[in-house]
Amino acid sequence: MADNNSAHHAVERFEKIWIMLSLVLLVIFVSLVFYAVSIHGAHIGHAEPRQDPQKILAMPEFADPGVVQTGPNSYQVNMVAQAFSFIPGDIEVPEGAEVTFRMTSRDVIHGFQVRGTNINVELIPGDIASLTYTFDRPGEYLIICNQYCGVAHQNMLGKIHVGETDAEQVAGTDDEPAEAPAADAWMADAERAWNSQCAACHGRDGSGARGAFPPLADGHAPALVAGDGGREYLINVVLYGLAGAIEVDGVSYRGMMPGMARLSDEDIAAALNHSLHAWGNADELPDAFARVTSDEVAQQRDRGLSTGDVLEQRKALGLD
């Protein structure tokens, strides 16, 4: 009987120790959360009430997504995620500016994680996710989709360029920069279209990514346009996308290009013209070359081509 009683007390003591231990652990975990939030701040995506996804996509900021300056030192990034790209996929904001992201998805659930920051939100069709962040260090930040969204999920990337601010720019001086000569005004639009729609995969310098996204620099875009049917092919590859292996300069590419028919005829023509003229490509163009026009793009719409049809068009160019 006495033995039984002391055994009982021993067990009770162990129980008390274990209860204390788990309480101490709980306190440690909760303090860690508060510590992390106080040091790094919390950027928890805040979702507005659910709506019809089509209604959201029809809202002006998502019908024409992009970066808008909303104040002397604040910007709003309106972004649409879709398989397998962020639109815009290449963003420029100044260092130290308050950047508000408003984002949604066009098709399935995507992730929006920005490397080197604690931004990490889920983009859900029918939801608008918003968050505000200030980039304190200049540099290039990688956006990654961290929700599996389909075959080319691993290629779903974007970039945020955070530029060093010169104080004048923020203060907003009245000295307007010298206007570019009118003859070359199209080039600025062309570059903007390229940087916002194509650069995330093919690079601002057109060099692409080995094995995934083919280069357009080094005369490759002019080589495409020089072939019979090359102009059509270039327009169609943007409108309808491309799937299947292709080869450029002996390197095989297996990326998947999504169709970008949602872009305007003007933007598609502009982005193509940038790829044809930038990076020294202008010198490689055929003599009789004229810039791609929005009318030409319009003519290729409603052909309802598949990515396979576009691949056949490319083969017909006889490049490989």
Interface residues for ligand CUA in 151-170 (CB under 6 A)?
153, 156
Number of residues in contact with ligand CUA, rule: CB under 6 A? 8
Distance (Å, whole) CA 311 – CA 282: 25
**Min CB(122)–ligand CUA separation in Å:** 10
Evaluate whether 285 touches 276 at the Cβ level (below 8 Å). Answer: yes
Measured distance CA(119)–CA(31) in Å, rounded: 21
Residue 110 interacting with ligand CUA (CB under 6 A): yes
- Encoded one letter per residue, x for contact with ligand CUA by CB under 6 A and - for no contact, window 64-103 reads --------------------x-------------------
CB of 315 vs ligand CUA, minimal distance in Å: 29
Closest separation in Å from C-beta 148 to ligand CUA:
6
Q: Of the candidates 93, 103, 149, 257, which one interacts with ligand CUA according to CB under 6 A?
A: 149
Q: How many CB atoms lie within 10 A of CB 222?
A: 21
Nearest alpha carbon to residue 110 among 258, 252, 253, 230: 258
Torsion of CA 277, 279, 284, 290, to 10 degrees: 0
Choose the binding region for ligand CUA from 36-44, 135-143, 148-156, 206-214 (rule: CB under 6 A): 148-156
Name residues contacting ligand CUA, limited to 208-227 (CB under 6 A).
none
Buried b (16+ CB within 10 A) or exposed e, 126-141: bbbbbbebebeeeeeb
DSSP code of residue 281: G
Instruction: Tell me: does residue 262 bind ligand CUA (CB under 6 A).
Output: no
Distance from C-alpha of 194 to C-alpha of 270, rounded to nearest angstrom: 7
Nearer to ligand CUA, 124 or 190 (CB): 124
CB of 110 to ligand CUA, least distance (A): 4
Nearest distance in Å: CB 165, ligand CUA: 31
Does 201 contact ligand CUA by CB under 6 A?
Answer: no
Residue 251: strand pairing partners: 248
Q: Minimum distance from CB of 200 to ligand CUA (Å)?
A: 12
Among 56, 103, 145, 246, binds ligand CUA (CB under 6 A): 145
| Residue choice 100, 117, 120, 147 for contact with ligand CUA (CB under 6 A) | 147
Say if residue 216 is exposed, middle or buried (CB neighbours under 10 Å; 0-12, 13-18, 19+).
buried
Phi, psi torsion values for 257, nearest 5 degrees: -90, 125
- Give one word for 202, left, alpha or beta, with left for phi > 0 and alpha for psi -120 to 50: alpha
The tokens describing 84, both together, are 């397998």
In terms of CB distance, is 122 or 191 closer to ligand CUA?
Answer: 122
Nearest distance, CB of residue 306 and ligand CUA, angstroms: 22
3-state SS, residue 170: helix
Residues contributing to the site for ligand CUA (CB under 6 A): 84, 110, 145, 147-149, 153, 156
